[in-house]
Amino acid sequence: MKNVAVIGAGTMGNGIAHTFAQFDYKVQLIDLHQASLDKGIATITKNLDRMVAKETITEADKQRTLKNITTYTNLEEGVEYASLVVEAATENVDLKLKIFRDLDKFCPDDTILASNTSSISITQIASVTSRPEMVIGMHFMNPVPIMKLVEIIKGYSTSEETFKMVEELSKKLNKVPVEVNDYPGFVANRILMPMINEAVETLYNGVAGVKEIDTVMMLGMAHPMGPLALADFIGLDVCLSILKVMYEGFKNPKYAPCPLLVNMVMAGKLGAKSGEGFYDYSQNRKAEDVAKMFTK
């Protein structure tokens, strides 16, 4: 398994491509838009430069990693020889189902189809293919080149052979694979998203301010990042999408998104990527300056 196609050149997609390429897999990075591919390669290059500066890799390692990545705007061409496809497109059910229908048509019969989805049912994704036993969840954490965890999600029909192959592959990437069953939010987001949502509710109810909430969780619970800063880092739109999937999947009000989160997403305040969320990133790329809306 040396040819790996990655669908989507955004934050997760370029991180996944970077990781596979660094471990000498031939990566086909696919996105509909050349501008997105260019931006993805620029991000990978910048991250590799940072690793060279820290002397964790050499300049030769960097060049070899970049050489292992080829970009495509055509899905059929990009997956023609793939042994594994990792889909890392937007967290949208309809989009993912369309992608997997196309992958099922375009990929060789023995290609494993994996999704980096953080909440959507692997069983549902697999149902639109003719190879449900070869469909699996491979949920990397952000930033992918650094974070060790990979949640491996078995759909209802995922074969043990497929699971074992992906488990071993994850170990070859120097990751720690953890087996998870297919329920909304899996493990990571089933626990994380309600915490983030409760932090937003705490702010919404006026219990404390943005920095105060984050400081309590960092100093009191030893979290490396406060939940509101983390929400900004993930993207408030992504948090909202995951909460909606969990709310619809469980029909439990504890997963209902906070109205403040809903309004912020509708207003385009998506966190770091939009320049403003709970913090203002216009002058500082770190979560240090609280957004004006939340200052007293």
Nearest-5° Cα angle at 281, 277 to 286:
105
**Token reading at 252:** 């439990």
CA nearest neighbour of 250 among 94, 126, 119, 156: 119
Q: Report yes or no on whether pTM surpasses 0.85.
A: yes
What is the average per-residue pLDDT within 220-238? 97
Q: Please give the pLDDT value at position 1.
A: 80
Dihedral of the alpha carbons of 73, 21, 159, 141, in degrees to the nearest 10: -90
Strand partners, 139: 151
Q: What is the tens place of the pLDDT at every residue in 16-42? A: 999 999 999 999 999 999 999 999 999
Give 3-state DSSP helix, strand, coil % of the chain, rounded to 5: 50, 15, 35
Which residue, among 192, 100, 113, 193, has the nearest Cα to 153 in the 3D structure? Answer: 113
Residue 285 clears pLDDT 90, i.e. is over it: no
Other beta carbons less than 10 A from residue 42's beta carbon: 11
Asked if pLDDT for residue 229 goes beyond 80, the answer is yes
What pLDDT, on a 0 to 100 scale, did the predictor assign at position 270? 98
Q: Write out the E strands in the chain.
A: 3-7, 26-30, 69-72, 84-87, 112-115, 135-140, 149-154, 176-181
As a whole number of angstroms, the distance between CA 107 and CA 112 comes to 9
Per-residue model confidence (pLDDT) at position 268: 98
296 has pLDDT over 90: no
- Tens digit of pLDDT for each residue in 104-126? 999 999 999 999 999 999 999 99
Question: DSSP characters for 133-152?
Answer: GGEEEEEE-SSTTT--EEEE
Q: Which residues on adjacent β-strands are paired with residue 29? A: 6, 71
Residues taking part in catalysis: 118, 139, 151, 189
The tens digit of pLDDT for each residue in 170-198 reads 999 999 999 999 999 999 999 999 999 99
Convert the pLDDT of each residue in 64-76 to its tens digit.
Answer: 999 999 999 999 9
Measure the CA–CA gap between 38 and 48, rounded to whole angstroms.
15
